[in-house]
Amino acid sequence: MKISDILAQRQSFSFEIFPPKGDMSVEQAEAVATELCKNNPDWISVTFSAGGSGNSERTADIGRRIERGVGTTALAHLTCLGSSRADVDAYVRRLQSAGVENVLALRGDRAPGRDVVDFAYASDLVPYLKESGLCVGGACYPEGHVECDDLATDLDNLKRKVDAGVDFLVTQLFFDNDDFYKFRELCDRKRIKVPIVCGIMPFTSVKQLQRMTFNCGASIPARVVKRLVAAGDDPIEQTKAGIIYAQEQIVDLANNGVDGIHIYSMNKPAIGRAMHDALVGCGYLPA
Ligand code: FAD
């Protein structure tokens, strides 16, 4: 099913998983998706890794397993830096033969050896993908993208991307809902009218929180730091603090009428279940 059709009907609930690398097999990834699916998500997205970890070809395979085996909607990510039109054509063919109708069009992070070939920005990729009849999502950044000097310029670029044909947006992770509410207001003023799905990542440890915020430039509010100080050095208490914080965050988002909630599940079904239960508790999801 196209995600644009889902979002036209209801506020969504979805998960992100990443495709297997290292020792994890495709079958294990499918097992994670199957467990997550017990929470009745509207879709499961699958990340894409260009170069490096070499697992990008598995994104389409996992997408096929989500659509055909697990039996829910898949959203396949695609980054375009370093890719030619022929690479993108081949990926689109793989998605279409896998029955995947949704793609998240991304530029990807700059890295040595990953130069512009045919697409410099996601806004170049979006119209190209739309020609294939896919439902196309884009990324957005409530605090501004890490490379962009100011939020206003980033919003101009976002507007260009949306006008190029984006059907819906998914946010970068954020920990302060007020950042999102201000961003939503700014998008509205700029006439960015597509649904904006909130991407939320429950943190599981101090180290993981530091790594992910450093990578994407999201800020850590003092109240997160206080929770982690209270958790001390105990890894179980740190994980508990992250799950409770994210539960509070998504309940507040649900109560403020967001278009959708997308959980960066980090391939952990227990995190998916905890987020589901919080949303059932506040009436966002049916029991
Ligand atoms: P763009 O929209 O192209 O923007 C990139 C930067 O360029 C921004 O600073 C923007 O303001 C600026 N810009 C845009 N257009 C122009 C223009 N015409 N002129 C000048 N400047 C411009 N990465 C992965 O590798 N794999 C994944 O699976 C993945 N999934 C993600 C999912 C989500 C929901 C999000 C939020 C991010 C994801 N990322 C992923 C990370 C993403 O690839 C990086 O954040 C990347 O740096 C930017 O990608 P983008 O598509 O937002 O880029």
Per-residue pLDDT of the chain (287 residues; tens, 9 = 90+): 999 999 999 999 999 998 877 667 888 999 999 999 999 999 999 999 876 555 667 899 999 999 999 999 999 999 999 999 999 999 999 999 999 999 999 999 999 989 999 999 999 999 999 999 999 999 999 999 999 999 999 999 999 999 999 999 999 999 999 999 999 999 999 999 999 999 999 999 999 999 999 999 999 999 999 999 999 999 999 999 999 999 999 999 999 999 999 999 999 999 999 999 999 999 999 99
| CA nearest ligand 1 atom 43, residue | 108
CA proximity to 235, closest of 208, 253, 262:
208
Q: How far apart are CA 237 and CA 243, in angstroms?
A: 10
Query: E-assigned strands of 65-184?
Result: 73-79, 102-106, 135-140, 168-171
Q: How far apart are CA 114 and CA 199, in angstroms?
A: 26
Could you tell me if the CB of 58 is within 6 A of ligand 1?
no
Atom of ligand 1 nearest to the CA of 158: 2
pLDDT of residue 256: 98
Q: How far apart are CA 199 and CA 264, in angstroms?
A: 7
pLDDT of residue 23: 66
Q: Which helix (H) or strand (E) holds 157?
A: helix 151-163
Q: How far apart are CA 38 and CA 274, in angstroms?
A: 12
Instruction: Assign a CATH topology to domain 3-281.
Output: TIM Barrel (3.20.20)
Could you tell me if the CB of 212 is within 6 A of ligand 1?
no
Q: Taking the model in full, what pTM does it have?
A: 0.97
Strand partners, 263: 15, 200
Query: E-assigned strands of 114-226?
Result: 135-140, 168-171, 196-200
pLDDT of residue 19: 81
Query: In the chain, where are the structural domains located?
Result: 3-281
Could you tell me if the CB of 106 is within 6 A of ligand 1?
yes
Spell out a b/e string for 94-124, using b for 16 or more CB atoms within 10 Å of the CB, else e: bbeebebbbbbbbbbeeeeebeeeebebbbb
Burial-class residue 217 by CB neighbours within 10 Å (0-12, 13-18, 19+): middle
Strand 135-140 to 196-200 pairing: unpaired
Q: What's the token pair of residue 86?
A: 């022929």
Strand 43-46 to 102-106 pairing: unpaired
